[in-house]
Amino acid sequence: MAYSLSPLPYAYDSLEPYIDAETMHLHHDKHHQTYVNNSNAAVETLSTELQNLSAEELLKSLDKVPAEKLTAIKNNVGGHVNHTFFWELLKVGTELKGELKTAIEKDFGSVDAFKEKFAAAAAGRFGSGWAWLVVQDGKLAVVSTPNQDTPIMGDKFAGVHGTPILTLDVWEHAYYLKYQNRRVDYIGAFWQVVNWDKVAQLYAATK
Ligand code: MN
């Protein structure tokens, strides 16, 4: 069961000027495609049982992956799953409201306090990685992971756990063309392209 790259669920330029079309082309068509290709090569070496899992199920079953294949699976299947998830979370013009907004205010004190915590996790991730808003043990929490690790891998493999409902890619390839070394500006622009409707839907699904 080979993985394939789905088209972006919107036009490449639809996140302008916050995330530019050239970055989206490079990020989706080249970087994400490479994760898909390398995932397929890595998964081919696994048992039939593991090959038959979905990419997400495989990342939740890393205990069953032979140690010498673990890094290739984490980096590539993680990259595929994380990017697929990330694309769905981007849209201009939605609003944080309802049950999700109430939960953010309850668990972080205020929306601004949440944004500060998330931005600090994204800015403070040394090197390449991701910032996440997760539902963790019944509460919202902000965490970050290195490389292509995701909270769905669990504590043993990612150092964190939880069900992701929002993420931000802070690899340089995600922002360097437009923002160069200014990761903080990219993080600031991210708030203009968060698809809060999707985040709310993911949050509701954890209930
Ligand atoms: Mn990326």
Distance 161 CA to ligand 1 centre (A): 21
* Per-residue pLDDT tens digits for 49-75: 999 999 999 999 999 999 999 999 999
Structure tokens at 12: 């490449």
Helix (H) or strand (E) holding 101: helix 98-108
Distance 134 CA to ligand 1 centre (A): 19
* Per-residue pLDDT tens digits for 179-206: 999 999 999 999 999 999 999 999 999 9
Distance 32 CA to ligand 1 centre (A): 7
Distance 10 CA to ligand 1 centre (A): 17
- What pLDDT does residue 52 have? 94
Say if CB 142 and CB 153 are below 8 A apart.
Answer: no
- What pLDDT does residue 7 have? 97
Q: pTM score > 0.75 for this model?
A: yes
CA–CA gap between residue 207 and residue 135 (Å, rounded): 10
Query: Which residue bears the tokens 């809060």?
Result: 196
Distance 102 CA to ligand 1 centre (A): 30
- What pLDDT does residue 153 have? 98
Write 193-196 long-range contacts (CB < 8 A, 24+): 193/15, 193/18, 193/19, 193/90, 193/91, 193/92, 194/89, 194/90, 194/91, 194/94, 194/96, 194/166, 195/88, 195/89, 195/90, 195/91, 195/94, 196/94, 196/95, 196/96, 196/97, 196/100
* Per-residue pLDDT tens digits for 144-158: 999 999 999 999 999
What burial class does residue 199 get, using C-beta atoms within 10 Å of its C-beta: 0-12 exposed, 13-18 middle, 19+ buried?
buried
**Mean pLDDT of the region 88-110:** 98
**Mean pLDDT of the region 115-127:** 97
Mean model confidence pLDDT for the chain:
97
